[in-house]
Structure 1
């Protein structure tokens, strides 16, 4: 359990593996952690605080209020005014302009087979 992520909520500590987290959704000073099994956990911390507590590379921030697990990234669509990511769960999220530049740089380092960019 060395890769285990430990988060504290009102009922105590929660131990999660990085592959269990699908995405984070920020809502002001709260963060919803959505898990692959469909559970939704609520923490009274900002999304930035939550990302600082995660191991490097576990989640990728795509906008002010969303971070995704790249393991569940199905495809990326980055055009001038249309920037989206699609998850294996079927969800579609908009990528901010600044984060799109970062994703383009990352995609050049990765092979096209892992994350196709159209």
Structure 2
């Protein structure tokens, strides 16, 4: 994409790797690290928290659905609401849990 914006991921050599937002399926918080799941199936690791990335690095195309997950809206296929669990199905077939407090935000965009 020509007008694509990038996620800057620091690497070992104190430089940054540019990852287009359009290639990121979702981000997963893991204590003080963030796992960045890409469309290609690769997973990159960021030494920052998910909260840091949500507040500073991501654009409006990403939505926080759980304390551990932030999803690219472009890859949302469907939202399933059941009594026992709410989950989001991505176009890649991955199911992610949706917290009950984030459910309202998700219903607004669908």
RMSD: 1.7
**Does the 8 A contact of 2:27 with 2:69 survive in 1?**
yes
The TM-score normalised by the length of structure 2 is 0.85
In the alignment, structure 1 residue 29 sits paired with structure 2 residue 32? yes
Q: Which has the higher strand share?
A: 2
Please report how far the alpha carbon of residue 50 of structure 1 lies from its aligned counterpart in structure 2 after TM superposition.
Answer: 1.1
Pairs within 5 Å for 1:1-118: 3-11=5-13, 12-107=15-110
List structure 1 runs of 4+ shifted beyond 3 angstroms: none
Is the alpha carbon distance of 1:2 and 1:67 closer, same or farther for their aligned partners in structure 2, counting shifts above 3 Å? closer
Q: How many residues align?
A: 107
State how far apart, in whole Å, the 2-side matches of 1:57 and 1:39 are.
23
Equivalent residue of 1:98, what SS?
A: coil
TM-score, normalised to structure 1's length?
0.80
